[in-house]
A and B are shown apart, each in its own frame.
Chain A
Amino acid sequence: MPESVPLPENESVRALVKRFNSPVSIHSYGEVYSDTTEFMNITYGDVIAVGGRHFLVLGDERERRFGMEDPKFWVKRCLELETGGYRILKLEFQEGFDQHIGPLTIPCRRSAAKEARILRLVAGDGRFMQGESFHDARGNVVRVLQRVDGRRLDLNVEDIRANHRTYFHEIYPDILERFIRACRAIHFLHEHGETHGDIRRDHLYELHDTGEYCWIDFDYGYEATENPFGLDLFGLGNILCFITGKGVHTTQDRARDEDGPLITEADCALFFRHRIVNLRKLFPYVPEALNRVLMHYSAESEVYYETVPELLADLEPCLEVLRRK
């Protein structure tokens, strides 16, 4: 990992800011930070100097989930002063926390080193967000990320204006095909001893130019277990259920449908007992083989996928069946 260069004279940074024709209004620039330890203090108009480059801070990134917004003070939206390019800087935030999946609690840590390692591994691979990492003057790992030129896959799927039957027959096969490629991307990580660690549907983007899918945010580190890829396989299953159902279907939604099929606990997800994974009960045209894949994630399943090839061995033939119809 390249070491940070010595902090330039403030005057030269001022000249850079001045020379740079910012698309946003920068009235004045604040501090120049070569040490990002106190990331809470780094704010709009400051400059982060790392890796021989200078990044003008535009603000903190925000996480938008379930209609809520949380500021991420360690993730800065920036403009690179040398090139004018938009960049996301993830600063080192040593945070340990418990992740909750249904009734389970999993100790987890944000690991800048892990994400930096994966960025090096996937450099040039469009299936993953791209970026570099540098040490700042205090040895903190700073990740300089390129903006993913795309939109969250789940939002795109939700926005498709078609009823489920039309969606499933006309649009879904293409989505599944690309999702299978995204699964192979995760397998690539596993083959190299890495995990994504935080596979969820808002961490998969559809790229504007190619339509291919791109994974983001892989900084969660966990304890090694007997099933090291279990969490990733769990996340892939959740996304598969989402794209197949064109959204999440819950028992609460179905409670209003008195003429609908009887949904039992066995039809629901192992970890989320209100979320229906037996989608064939809702949409009878979902092929049996595809539904069997989904049922591996149900409360009644006794057999689980442990590796991506196991999942794909069942899933890829489903795509062929859908293509033939």
Chain B
Amino acid sequence: MDFKKVLISVDASANAGRAVDYAAAMLAGVTDVRVTLLYIERAPGRDRFESEEAWLGQCQLDHERVFDFLKEARGMLLAAGLPKDAVTERTERCSTEPSIAQTILDIQQTGGYGTLVVGRRGITKGEEFLFGSVSTKLVRDARNCAVWVVQ
């Protein structure tokens, strides 16, 4: 694994923003670094919406919010001094199975990323029990790479 090949897993949350900010500070001035901003797209739960239109509307909103976020995140990395061609964006779709964490790990493995960066929400034990935690699963299951968990 190449530790200078960095995979930053983001959504459009403030936690992801902090992860990008941290990575930008850490990677500024590092030579030969390559960064991929990865967004795992999962459609909102269809059963929570009154109609197909309402659900599609939320999908569109989510899509736009992430598009804006990725643009902003790229800007943060370039502003820190990373070369333009060192930063790429990637979006992958994911359904219920495999989980988001597993999808990230699959991409990390196949892409040979040696560093994985992720934000953390800081959830309670109860929330972790019921909803699960991407960062906890990444720390538990990641192999052959460093995991940076940014609170």
Contact = CB atoms under 8 A, between A and B. Distances in A.
Interface stretch (A27-35, A37-45, A225-233): A225-233
A270 B129 contact: yes
Given A109-B49, A222-B47, A270 B96 contact: no
Contacts, number: 80
Contacts of A104: 124, 126-127, 130
Contact of A231 (B47, B100, B130): B130
Nearest to A304: B129
Interface residues of A, number: 32
Interface stretch (B28-36, B84-92, B106-114, B132-140): B132-140
B121 to A, nearest CB: 10
A265 to B, nearest CB: 12
Contacts of A301: 125
A102 B134 CA distance: 23
A93 to B, nearest CB: 11
Contacts of B48: 96, 107-109, 111, 221-223
A8 to B, nearest CB: 29
Nearest to A231: B130
Specify the main secondary structure of chain A where it touches its partner: loop
A270 B47 contact: no
Nearest to B99: A226
Contacts of A114: 47
Interface string A34-73: 0000000000000000000000000000000000000000
Interface in A204-245: 221-228, 230-231, 234
By CB atoms of chain B within 10 A, which of A102, A104, A107 has the most? A104
Interface string A92-122: 0010100001111011110101100000000
A20 interface: no
B126 A224 contact: no
B131 A225 contact: yes
A81 to B, nearest CB: 32
Given A226-B137, A228-B96, A221 B47 contact: yes
A270 B125 contact: yes
Nearest to B50: A94
B126 A227 contact: no
B72 interface: no
A177 interface: no
Contacts of B49: 109
Interface in A231-280: 231, 234, 270-271
Contacts of B132: 225-228, 230, 306
B47 A113 contact: yes
B95 interface: yes
A23 interface: no
Interface in B42-72: 42-50
A270 B45 contact: no
Contacts of A94: 50
Nearest to B137: A226
Contacts of B126: 101-104, 270-271
Nearest to A222: B45
A284 interface: no
A193 B45 contact: no
Contacts of B133: 226-227
Contacts of B97: 193, 228
B100 A234 contact: no
Interface string A276-311: 000000000000000000000001011010100000
A223 B44 contact: yes
B95 A304 contact: no
Given A193-B97, A226-B137, A304 B47 contact: no
16 contacts: A103-B126, A104-B126, A107-B48, A109-B47, A109-B50, A111-B47, A114-B47, A224-B96, A226-B100, A226-B137, A227-B128, A227-B133, A231-B130, A299-B125, A304-B128, A304-B129
Interface of B: 42-50, 95-97, 99-101, 124-134, 137
Given A94-B50, A221-B48, A226-B132, 8 more contacts: A111-B47, A193-B96, A223-B45, A225-B132, A226-B99, A227-B128, A230-B131, A270-B125
